[in-house]
Structure 1
Amino acid sequence: MIYLDYAATTPLDPEVRAAMEAWQGVYGNPSSVHALGREARRLLEEGRERLAAAIGCRPRELVLTSGGTEANALAIYGVALARGRGHLVSTQVEHSATLGALRGLEALGFEVTLLPPDPYGLVHPEQVAEALREDTLLVSVMTVNNELGSLYPIEAIAEVCRARGVLFHTDAVQAVGTVPCRVEALGADLVSLAAHKFYGPKGIGALYVRKGVELFPLLPGKQEQGRRGGTENPLAVYGMGLAAEKAVRLLPEESQRLLALRERLERRLLALEGVELNGHPTQRSPKHVNVTARGADGEGLLLNLDLLGVAVSSGSACSSGSLEPSHVLLALGRSREDARASVRFSLGRFTTEEEVEAAARAFAEALARSRPAPA
């Protein structure tokens, strides 16, 4: 099987797996004061410190979560519920976790503005500035779009928010190990992360919270400085820290390698009749290629690719069981039919040139199978 769905999840890096296996015997509760608890606490804090160093923040500014979805929810609900009322700004093309949290706040009486993207899926600082109100509590714009790979002008948006005294959150789940992701450069007050997107274990993530930002805890408890209750998983945190450290170390060479593979794949796909690119042609993650195959049966296209041994996605993995077309592609102006006939390829650390070439050939065959035969 050729795996080209790295934006959905990445395999656990073998070095990280081996390092975690060496500590499998650590089972104490990190909140306990006895020797086993202290051992677990040391492992937990080492992972936290490694992650903090990788993204350029203080260890105590990281709140450990179960993943990116919880990190997004904690940022959005946490800020809003700490204030009690007000207005939030985001975009129509955010991850479903962010949009779901915003819908939940609307049900509680908060007001939400969702900014429309341009034809490339981008949202611009001027739009954010125009949407801000006196009662705006938070702006949330992702760093890298999970379906398109579009790169947002996060630093400029952060400046707009800072000038108006509004907190800024970015979902950087797709960013670590793909593009530079240092919190001081992003300028955000809150940053969401998920280990399984950068070759770490599943079920663990973190929310960077700038010192001084008040959050209402979604899970009450004394852990994580009272910001997120529940016994932490030291082994998973340790694995996350190791994975982030390696992803950042490999970034300069890996981003260039992925970009070359992405361009090779794009050339092959876009040479096919009726195949069009979704997202910005250049202002895009080096690992994302999202295309629409006009006139194709979307379900048939994916099934045939799977039968031909290529694992890809029709959009966000969190929506893979849905028959509905991608909300991101609809926001770009794609018809429901074209949105369904779209495929996201996402490359990763173990992708080879040979796999890219084989995947392009398989796509051409799957496309021919999924289009109606000429009359």
Structure 2
Amino acid sequence: MTSPAPFTAADYRARMNRAAEDALAAGLAGLVVAPGPDMDWLTGYRPAAATERLTLLVLAVGREPVLIVPTLESGDVEKAPGGEALTLRDWRDGVDPYGLAAPLLADGGRFGVSDNAWALHLLGLSRALPSSSYVALSEALPMLRAVKDAAELERIAAAGASADATYEEIKKVTFAGRRESEVAKDLAGLLIGFGHSQVDFTVVGSGPNGADPHHEAGERVIGDGDTVVLDFGGLMHGYGSDTTRTVHVGEPDDEVRKVHAVVQEAQQAGCAAVRPGVACQEIDRAARAVIEEAGYGEYFIHRTGHGIGVTTHEPPYMIEGEEQPLVPGMCFSVEPGIYLPGRFGVRIEDIVTVTEDGGRRFNRTSRELAVVA
């Protein structure tokens, strides 16, 4: 499998410039970005671990992007893909890093701060800039990473194809008589084998465990007659995959077939509703209406979808009350489900991108109820 061309320093500079301009348009004095997915997307720099030592990207219109970083890690920044687009301000242990940051952030300004910033660091900035205020980046600029360019879409498509290949192979393994954790290990190995660099989750919910949408694969032994929810994904080329299919060990009874058919119809309705200009909540409404009409509304207990990109969960969210209109290039899951407590669950999930005239799925495996051994 051919790897996509890497992002360049020019790509990262363009992202940082756009982020600064978006911040200005939102009435912010600038952005302060801690290590995590936002910093990774903006700069290509991903510290080995976030620590008590302050690392902070400062962005504002009319200023060069500045990365405040501990001296002992400055060499790593220079090796990052976007490193040459950054001005480094390094600091040694014993120096007050918040005092170093203060001149870059006019006191009294309102700044967007990445959601995963440590309270320790935000409190340090507040002491150095007592008149400044902060707002979460996902609240101030929820669409910062939501609209993907062609290179990003290529990566998400590759991750989706890898997840699809994983599903096709997992259907061939034996389920009956094995623990959920064993099947989960198979899923993880297949994802890596088909090109993923990181596995984030492998949900294997058999029988009554399938009624828990985020069940962690456990030691329950899968039996003949079990419905099994398989939800798995991770990162490939830095971008996420996330797909769910429901299988059945042996021939399913009429009720399982009925519930699965309702979820399949709901998932199709959600995907069919995708087109530019439609509010995110309309995707949730379209899928939920099918399940409610079938009499299972109280058993659909989560939103219909979430955005995906450099993380597997990010804005936008397909949920009632989200009026953000869909824009070509947005990518998100459509994953309705029905969960019957103590009995079984069914979920079907594809990643979808908004096109100029509708939507396109990145997952193409059959959505029919598969029978496994």
TM-score after normalising by structure 2: 0.25
Higher helix share: 1
**Using CA pairs below 8 Å that are at least 6 residues apart, which structure has the higher relative contact order?**
1
TM-score (norm 1): 0.25
- From the two aligned structures, give the one with the greater strand fraction: 2
